[in-house]
A and B are shown apart, each in its own frame.
Chain A
Amino acid sequence: MLSLKKNRAANAASQPRLVRRILIGSTVLFLGLFLLLPLIAVFAYALEQGGTAYWMAIKQPEALAALRLTLMTVAVAAPLNALFGIAAAWAIAKFEFRGKNILITLIDLPFTVSPVIAGAMFVLLFGARSAMGGWLLDRGIQIIFAPPGIFIATIFVTFPLVARELIPLMQALGNDDEEAAVSLGAGPLQTFWRITLPNIRWGLLYGVVLCVARAMGEFGAVSVVSGHIRGVTNTMPLQIEILYNEYDYVAAFSVASLLALVSLVTLGGKKIFEWKSRQHIIDQSAYSAQGGPVESTAS
């Protein structure tokens, strides 16, 4: 038995090395080919004709207008969804009620709706031929083919991102801190600001960062509701499509590289936030039975 085990151990030392190399090799190859190369390509094609061409492409008034609209979309969608995420996580994590699972599933719903369908939905709802759209248009309020439509479509596709980060986090943290604060006489707002917010800030920030990244990059849903008016209702991804269709590849990839940079910042941010919030949970709930950090990946 013992000799057999040794034998195996020896075997395990030699054979796994080969297995290991093959596995690592295929991982590097697969990720390199599927993830790294497309990322490098964006920057390579953007800088193909040098830095000046790159700069000129980004400085175009239409590109700048697209950037402005994209930033505005983010400024609308991210805070609203953050507020919603906090409220939903508070209600779901801190209280027991019937139908909780259904509520969580409903919050997840926008993830499974194809962006195109999401956009189409808002056209049906706010289009000039619908009752509501017609009524609003008669009063001079334009929703689709105008920035508000883009905001709503973006809010829809980024809807669950903050809530999904916060719900498991707040569930893991438990209620003890808040309950202690309340029983010591703290008011609701005070409890939230002093106790809850510091506990969830990294998770919240990460959720917001995800939301920002997705809001900047949404294409399908926004494309349906945009109307593609140059310099007015084109977001950056739509501008990329237009430039690409105008054979202006360098410009298309230049604008794309800005978005790629944002996504790289998001990835870096994710690492930091994960690390920070993990530390935080470990600090906070070293004594808690729930222990381990919450992997929040499904998005």
Chain B
Amino acid sequence: MKRTTVYDRNLKAKREVSVSAFHFLFSEIVQYCLAKANSDAQELERQLEELGQPLGAKFLELVCFRDRNSKKDINIIECLRFIHGPLWKTLFNKNADELEQNTEEHDTFMISEKEPSLCNQFACLPKGDDYLNCGAFVAGIIEGILASANFPAKVSAIFKNDEESRKTVFLVKFNSDTIDGNY
């Protein structure tokens, strides 16, 4: 009998695991990074971003392969729409909430998501401690996608509190030479 390998897998098939499995794994990863970072919040976020980055390229390939309407890397706006729409749908089973361009700094875009999000639902500090956002992991994934689509950018996850709700804003700041001529 022929052994099945990774290459024989049906790429179109959609698989799921329980969200609890993800939460426990993610929680343990955060604890590991926190110890490595000597409890420094910025360093923890950096490590989570770094862990997210390699996922970007993988999901870009997979989502484009599955969804013929998502063409790769046309221009920056298309790419951001791809992240905000099909990618978010694949990762989190919903669209992100808003996609906006900063009116003053044109090289900066914002993708926002209402809390609780997957990474922050349980992995959060008490109220008032907004300096740490575990969505940094997702910021890393976005960064990875943009990098493999050849639009390098710096992405960071920050909390934004309105009167009633709380959201995470993914701040996408493109490198200056990326923005010229691509948009």
A binds B: no
